[in-house]
Amino acid sequence: MAESALKKKENGRGTRATDAEETRFNILEVATAEFADKGLSGARIDEIAERTNSSKRMIYYYFGSKEGLYRAVLERAYTAVREVDADNRRDDLDPDAALRDVVGVTFDYHNQHPEFVRLVMNENILRGAHVGEVPGIRERNRKVIDQLRAILARGVASGHFREGVDPVELHMTISALCFYNVSNRYTFSFGFERDMSSPKALARRRMSVIDVIESWCRA
């Protein structure tokens, strides 16, 4: 991305190749926003092209089709998540703190990346038609679950956690709580006065989610 562009620029001058990479990146950025905003069928490639520094011609040149672009966007988004939770080694924390940390980080990530949430929502509406072709999801999920399993095991050993909590169920529960909070913003808050989108409400929710998970696992 930007680094390699810089590198090229240092080497020579503003070259074609540099522009190309930049263009690709730019298109991907714009397309991500657009697909996250309107979904695959709702997004218009003419509109994407317009917001780009480039043109529709280039979209087809680089990505072949609307779906190709969509797939690239999806892949990029998933790659970004993977990079986030890849580094998190929580072996130094005690099980309880580690679990709370996992939940907190997950909650925050979802909140800070609604585009990702929306992309996933859309993918589910499409019945996961494209997600299968995105590599890396399997490993990512397995990694998270392995990590949870380890935390649970340590917790059981230390007497903090009870036995019988399935790591997959735990992962799903955490995901559900963090995801829903972002995904169903618009339909959920209807019906009570409390403003669910205020920072205050968000903090409260965050605490609740951590609390829910913790009390479920606690011995």
Partner DNA sequence: ATTTGTGTACGAAATGGTTCGCTCAATGAA
Partner DNA sequence: TTCATTGAGCGAACCATTTCGTACACAAAT
45 binds, among a copy of itself, DNA, none (CB under 5 to 8 A by kind): DNA
Supply the DSSP symbol for 218. B
- Minimum CB distance to DNA smaller for 67 or for 166: 67
- For DNA, which residue of 65, 124, 158, 197 counts as binding (CB under 7 A)? 65
58 or 212: whose CB is closer to a copy of itself? Answer: 212
Query: What six digits make up the tokens of 50?
Result: 């317009």
Q: Does 61 bind DNA (CB under 7 A)?
A: yes
Nearer of residues 12 and 164 to DNA, judged by Cβ = 12
DSSP string, 55-117: -HHHHHHHH-SHHHHHHHHHHHHHHHHHHHHHS---TTS-HHHHHHHHHHHHHHHHHH-HHHH
- Among candidates 125, 138, 120, which has minimal Cα distance to 180? 120
Compute the half-sphere exposure of residue 104: CA atoms within 13 Å on the CB side of its CA: 10
Residue 55 interacts with DNA (CB under 7 A): yes or no = yes
Q: 149-183 in b/e burial notation, b at 16+ Cβ within 10 A? A: bebbebbbeeebbeeebebeebbebbeebbbebbb
Smallest gap from residue 212 Cβ to DNA (A):
41
> Which of 17, 86, 168, 207 is close enough to bind DNA by CB under 7 A?
17
Find the binder of DNA among 7, 9, 204, 218 (CB under 7 A).
9
Using CB under 8 A as the binding rule, the residues of this chain from 126 to 145 that contact a copy of itself are 126-128, 131-132, 137-142, 145
Give me the helix-helix angle, 199-217 and 95-112, nearest 10°: 140
Report the interface residues with a copy of itself, using CB under 8 A.
Answer: 38-42, 118, 120-128, 131-132, 137-142, 145, 166, 168-169, 172-173, 175-177, 179-181, 183-188, 190-192, 194, 204-205, 208-209, 211-212, 215-216, 218
